[in-house]
Structures are given as structure tokens and as C-alpha cells.
Amino acid sequence: MSKNYEVWLEEDTQTVCLKTYRTMTAEDVHELMSLADKEFAGKEINYCLIDMSEATSEPIPKETRQAFKEYAESISYKKVAIIVTNPITRMLAKVALVVTGKPGTSRFFGSSEEARAWLKE
């Protein structure tokens, strides 16, 4: 698994969890989506929790933005909660959401507790 991220499914809450440690590369995105297709196929998934609290605030490369955009149509979560503590990382995450065309179902939070509470609403 990549050192840039970890991903797992919490079946009891129907939530895919993604924890990033660095800005993801296009290769990471392709690897993640391939893994998700294999590991989560046939499972009911309604929510996504993205923890960027430990992520570095590096610019998102054009290739990475393109890779996210390629998969955007196949991603349809009811809600996406994003944990961000760094204002620069938050700004970069907002750019990624705009690129994927999915900003309306997403919210930013400062802690896991706040994010998980919103997902349960």
C-alpha cells in the first residue's frame, strides 16, 4: 500500500475512510480507485470520510487533478466529510472538490468527531 495514504471500509456505517499523509499523485489515485473497485465491490457505501489532518500542504499536480476528474463520475456518495487542520491544505482540498464537480455534498471539519457526527445526521 502507498505511503501517501491508507484506505478502509467501515461497513457498519457504510463509510469509506481515506487518510492522506502527503499530496496524492496521479499514480496514487489510480491505485486507490483500482483497490476500491476490488475491495469494496458489491458493498453498500453511502459516505466518505477523508482525513487530511496529517497531510502536507503541497500543490496538487495537474496529473493528479486529471486522475481525480476521470473517476469523478463513478463516485456518488451522499456525504463526504473532510478533516483538515491546515488552512493551506483546506484550500487545496477545495480545489480538488471543484475539479471533481462534487463540492455540494462535502463539508470540512477540524476533528474526526465533528465529521462523523455530521455523516450520521
Interval 66-86: pLDDT, tens:
888 888 877 788 898 999 988
Every domain of the chain and the residues it spans: 5-120
Burial (CB count within 10 angstroms: exposed 0-12, middle 13-18, buried 19+), residue 43: exposed
Q: Tell me, letter by letter, the H, E, C secondary structure of the chain.
A: CCCCEEEEEEHHHCEEEEEECCCCCHHHHHHHHHHHHHHCCCCCCCEEEEECCCCCCCCCCHHHHHHHHHHHCCCCCCEEEEECCCHHHHHHHHHHHHHHCCHHHEEEECCHHHHHHHHHC
| Range 6-34 average pLDDT | 92
| Range 40-57 average pLDDT | 88
Q: What's the pLDDT band for 56 if we cut at 50, 70, 90?
A: confident
In CATH, the number for domain 5-120 is 3.30.750.24
Q: What is the pTM of this model?
A: 0.85
| Percentage, residues of the chain above pLDDT 70 | 93
Q: What's the pLDDT band for 102 if we cut at 50, 70, 90?
A: low
Q: Residue 119's pLDDT is what?
A: 95
| Contacts for 101 with CB less than 8 Å, ≥ 6 apart | 72
